[in-house]
Structure 1
């Protein structure tokens, strides 16, 4: 791609891609990386790292570069905590401090506890257009792929300790070895290395049992590097050009601080790095944690938001900004904001050049597949909630209200996904005063003479002159005309109308609500 045809530097992902090319040199293929330990269900906060890498990968591809997106599953890590949301707690507890990959799937479906979470997360990210090359670290370690790197780390242990000690209150001494060993007899990593012969043999002892063993790196699969050494080793092994990290890794003395020095001992250099901040769910208390079981997953968010909206949310924020995803009433505003950005991207709403260009780029990053040539159908989420409730949650019946606006397959998908999200939100998160159910028959409600006169006049109008009304505004004006003729206050009659419609004191704006419910149904309820 020529310099003239390069995408403009508008979005943070474009700036990151540009920095990668400048710092890592012009290459045909760039390797971008992410990963996690499958200690429990992978939560939505973890997804921020995955989507950050995906957005940068897309920015590189838009510059004509090939990209390898590797996702490392650290499934050779030890199983340290049984999440509260997992079944068979006692059974899982038997595998504490053994490799996660050797812990059985409590659901009895996948080959291991690790595989259960790996398969689940890989399927979830595909729903939002993220395609990764998974690397299962247990397989790499057990195949002996890293044995030379482990030997190198052991022979550089004093240099590694010196780097780590710069940030430790209690420095490592000669007892430090940059490896952990899974005991051959007791299977856990509750061990201590007590010797290294400089070539291939490690002597260790079990901390909890009177057991000492010697293992040979040329034949064993029981040894792994700790995170602070493993991470920079893999940067070199996989030739990683870009990998972000969370606040915890990025803080002074955190794992990135030490990794960018340790990587040089392995003969490499640190990849381009971006810090990303935390994501929370508005209305859900506490920090999300896979190991504690306190979490919301990508699948959970997809029950409330369309896939493109999930991508759009992350693309809309710089990585170093924390934000919340709303499950409360602010869901309505989020949908309104997305629809407005979509209209800006298609030139259907005016905005200054900078705002429009950003909207277009964010929208491009939000796509799951090919971007539609025309703006997709936009049913207002608030209005759709009302239509669905008027139709007792029946999506097929609700669709008839929008039939003339649904013109293609993309519109059908938009309506289907948004309707399912609206129903789920109504059932699980919407405040009570937002929800309603249309009465199936007329209800008794005590009215004074003026209220009765108004209701009689309004029903008469609906029976005889309904066809004279063609807009919500016209019906609104007609209601006030009758209110004034009867000499009654709006606050005296509107609650009566709502009570007869939904047995509540208030609800959606009356004129549009009545027109949507339909003449015949309203007359029956108002009689």
Structure 2
């Protein structure tokens, strides 16, 4: 798009998906697909697997076209390992389908459902609409039986395709983190299907034979059990990952999918799948975008199986839903995203608010307008928004100082909104609640604001004449300048008044040094350290009477 700072990747991807649909035929549905294995907490990295196809499907719907976004739950995958923080005793279930492992908290029907439920709630809050598909249900119902038999009868052709791209076992296993690894053996011993053992329920099995006429498969398990069943009549396993993925493309008619860098490099799952869907399953590979990692400040790549990674629910406690959508929409998929839960949250909100002001003033470019429109709602509904937007850093400072006391918070915020006084705290929500959650959960105790309860007599007795004059000018000017802009002007202006200048005089280097010295003194006298929340905010929060008492040197 001409005049746009960076290419609108959503528009470009939607164009490609629509073109792919037309190429396949006039009645071809438009299907965007995502796939997630609920093997552990579904983190912010997994959310990109959802958001990239969501934005593309949403753009197509905005154009008045039908587009389905399917979320395949890979809940028939094996439990690979027990994430950190969960009972180590669950290691006994490693190798079993995620839907056959009990809920670690005993609240839901299975391990898989335990992790699906909070993720579903987060998607609803984000305005993401998906059609869910349980791979357990698909495999155990026999929905894929014909495709499985076809793959088994075509195993030599599949093995030939895999042989063109076969890599070292170590790399293969690393890539298969979200699915299961393929068998590396070639020729007649290769089988693209992995049974779950009828005795122990695990996939620690090795196929020994397959009879194409009767469809009988025989296998042995590491537990010592040997068994067999007719693939044409029973269901008890699944296709290996690199065969399963293209099979589903053909089955669902997928026209767009995104995948992590693990699956997007040359010779990886998408490359192999593109060959298999054409040569084996008589289908077409979808239009595709690879996406980069999502990280958090100070942390490496997130892993649900490793545990401890922030989830969408965690992020939504401190980021308003439109803002979290914006975090994913504003970056091209091949650009990494870093989500900060520290002081950078303030800057993120500032950037988001600045975009909103530019859009409202008609100063935003096409790209900013498009990204904000995708962030504040979907094609079907707008997301809840804070009625009266106040800077996040202001709200955080206020709830920090008041420790969340509603009456004090409302009093202070009314001083911030003199022109349009806040009628109730509900007008500042949900942002106010996000600020409260951030202060309580992510600001270290040593950084919390502890306002003095009594004046610091020792420091007040040591005031220099210049410091005494500065405090007197400040206290005497409180009533006249009691507003956020007024206090800001007064705080920066006290050293100017001491120099015989007007409040709005430009600050020389010497004046800036004097301003910093005054600020440090005020922090020491008010909160007992040389830094703290923005001083105008702090003064408004404390109230004139308390300020006078704490700064009184008489």
TM normalised by structure 2 equals 0.84
1:96 corresponds to 2:94: yes
Paired with 2:210 and 2:304, the residues of 1 have a C-alpha distance of 35
1:199 and 2:201 matched: no
Give 1:24 deviation, angstroms. 1.8
Q: Where does residue 547 of structure 2 map in the other structure?
A: 522
Given the alignment, which residue of 451, 463, 477 partners 1:438?
A: 451
- Aligned 1:105-504 pairs, distance under 5 A: 105-169=103-167, 172-264=186-278, 265-283=280-298, 285-347=299-361, 350-351=363-364, 356-368=365-377, 370-371=381-382, 377-403=388-414, 404=417, 415-430=428-443, 435-447=448-460, 451=464, 454-455=467-468, 458-459=471-472, 462=475, 466-467=479-480, 471-476=486-491, 479-480=494-495, 483-484=498-499, 493-504=518-529
Return closer, same or farther for 1:515/1:455 CA change in 2, 3 Å cut-off. Answer: farther
Deviation at 1:289, TM superposition (A): 1.1
**Distance apart, 1:173 and its partner CA:** 1.8
Aligned partner of residue 256 in structure 2, secondary structure = coil
CA distance in 2, matches of 1:478, 1:422: 30
Which residue matches 2:21?
A: 24
Partner of 2:181: none
> CA 1:396/1:275 → structure 2, altered by over 3 Å: closer, same or farther?
farther
Question: 2:21, 2:28 within 8 Å by CA — same for their partners in 1?
Answer: no
**1:93-122 CA-partner distances (Å, limit 9, x unpaired):** 221211111111111111111111122211
SS in 1 for 2:69: strand
Any conservation in 2 of the 1:445–1:496 contact (CA below 8 Å)?
no
Equivalents in 2 of 1:407, 1:442: separation in Å?
34
Given the superposition, is the C-alpha separation of residues 478 and 120 from structure 1 closer, same or farther in structure 2, using an over 3 Å criterion? closer
Measured in 2, the distance between the counterparts of 1:477 and 1:185 equals 77
User: Which is worse superposed, 101-110 or 416-425?
Assistant: 416-425
CA distance in structure 1 between the aligned counterparts of 2:88 and 2:419, rounded to whole angstroms: 49
Deviations 1:68-87 (A, max 9, x none): 1111111111112111221x
Residues 448, 423 of structure 1: alpha-carbon distance in 2 compared, 3 angstrom cutoff: same
CA distance in 2, matches of 1:233, 1:193: 20
CA 1:480 to 1:469, structure 2 compared with 1: closer, same or farther past 3 Å? farther
2-structure distance, mates of 1:205, 1:468:
83
* CA distance in 1 between partners of 2:62 and 2:421 (Å): 28
Quickly say closer, same or farther: Cα 1:180–1:512, change in 2 above 3 A. closer
* Closer, same or farther: CA 322–493 of 1 in aligned 2, 3 Å: closer
Unaligned 5+ segments in structure 2 are 1-5, 168-183, 501-510
Greater displacement, 10-19 / 247-256: 10-19
1:481: how far off?
5.2
SS of aligned partner of 1:274: strand
Say whether the 8 Å CA contact 1:151–1:199 is kept in structure 2.
no
Matches of 2:187 and 2:542, distance apart in 1: 77
Question: Structure 1: which 5+ residue stretches go unaligned?
Answer: 1-8
Structure 2 residue matching 1:445: 3-state secondary structure: helix
Aligned length: 510
Instruction: Give the whole-Å Cα distance in 1 for the aligned partners of 2:8 and 2:221.
Output: 52
RMSD, aligned α-carbons? 3.1
Whole-angstrom distance in 1 between the partners of 2:339 and 2:396: 19
CA distance in 1, matches of 2:214, 2:118: 38
TM superposition shift of 1:526 = 1.3
Q: Could you tell me the TM-score, scaled by structure 1's length? A: 0.88
Please give the secondary structure, in 1, of the residue aligned with 2:459.
Answer: coil
**Greater Cα offset, 237-246 or 194-203:** 194-203
CA positional deviation for 1:187 = 1.9
8 Å CA contact 1:458–1:482 kept in 2: the answer is no
Counterparts in 2 of 1:200 and 1:149: CA distance versus 1, 3 Å? farther
Alpha-carbon distance change, 259 to 407 in structure 1, aligned in 2, over 3 angstroms: farther
Which has the larger displacement, 28-37 or 331-340? 28-37
